[in-house]
Chain A
Amino acid sequence: EAGVTQSPTHLIKTRGQQATLRCSPISGHTSVYWYQQALGLGLQFLLWYDEGEERNRGNFPPRFSGRQFPNYSSELNVNALELEDSALYLCASSLRPGFFYGYTFGSGTRLTVV
């Protein structure tokens, strides 16, 4: 069974540009979560999608947005990139919203804004 896959692995963008990050969950998982992990820091909750709907978002500005497609894959868009957006972006999926089984994580996309 394939795990959670994220693409691209690395992404370099210029300040002010837009970045699009993609995530494919484990087959059968309907919930997808996005986290930002700045260098040396913990995971900050960004967005949660389930069954195509945004269920919750963390304390991030509106230029962080995303969507979930009918096949449950998801993309995260970051507009008007700022230097401090440089971070590892992790995607996770779960069989159903959270709870006992926890999340399965992808290996992340390293976004560098120059």
Chain B
Amino acid sequence: AQTVTQSQPEMSVQEAETVTLSCTYDTSENNYYLFWYKQPPSRQMILVIRQEAYKQQNATENRFSVNFQKAAKSFSLKISDSQLGDTAMYFCALNNNDMRFGAGTRLTVKP
């Protein structure tokens, strides 16, 4: 079974500062992919960043980066220079054949 756990239901950060969202997962597979999705109030799920489990190098997409610790089964998301538009629900997801999501972290960026 695949499970994804996000232990921070809500977080807030001041505009321009850095915030890290935590995610742990469990799977018996060796080949899988990890994702962070963003869901703003518009409800549209938007892919933020993805990581291949067999790559040790952490993925980076502009202000978004991950800290992937395969042995610890940890996959945290760091948002640098937070912007008001980053306010949204953030979901961590694990994909082997079908994608399973964590419960989400509601992030609020304050001006």
Contact = CB atoms under 8 A, between A and B. Distances in A.
Interface of A: 33, 35, 41-43, 45, 48, 55-56, 88, 90, 92, 97-100, 102-105, 107-108
Given A100-B33, A102-B33, A33 B47 contact: no
Interface string B5-38: 0100000000000000000000000000101010
A67 B97 CA distance: 18
A98 B96 contact: yes
A60 B95 CA distance: 20
Contacts of B50: 100, 102
B98 interface: yes
Interface in B69-111: 91, 95-104
A55 B97 contact: yes
- B interface bracket (residues with beta carbon within 8 Å of A): 20 to 34
16 contacts: A33-B98, A41-B103, A43-B91, A43-B101, A45-B98, A55-B98, A56-B98, A90-B45, A92-B99, A98-B99, A99-B33, A102-B33, A103-B47, A107-B42, A107-B43, A108-B43
Contacts of A42: 6, 91, 101-104
Given A42-B104, A102-B50, 15 more contacts: A33-B99, A42-B6, A42-B101, A43-B91, A45-B99, A55-B97, A88-B43, A97-B97, A98-B96, A98-B97, A98-B99, A102-B35, A103-B45, A107-B43, A107-B44
A45 to B, nearest CB: 6
Contacts of B52: 100
Contacts of B6: 42
A103 B43 CA distance: 15
B31 to A, nearest CB: 9
Contacts of A98: 33, 95-99
A71 to B, nearest CB: 21
A88 B91 CA distance: 16
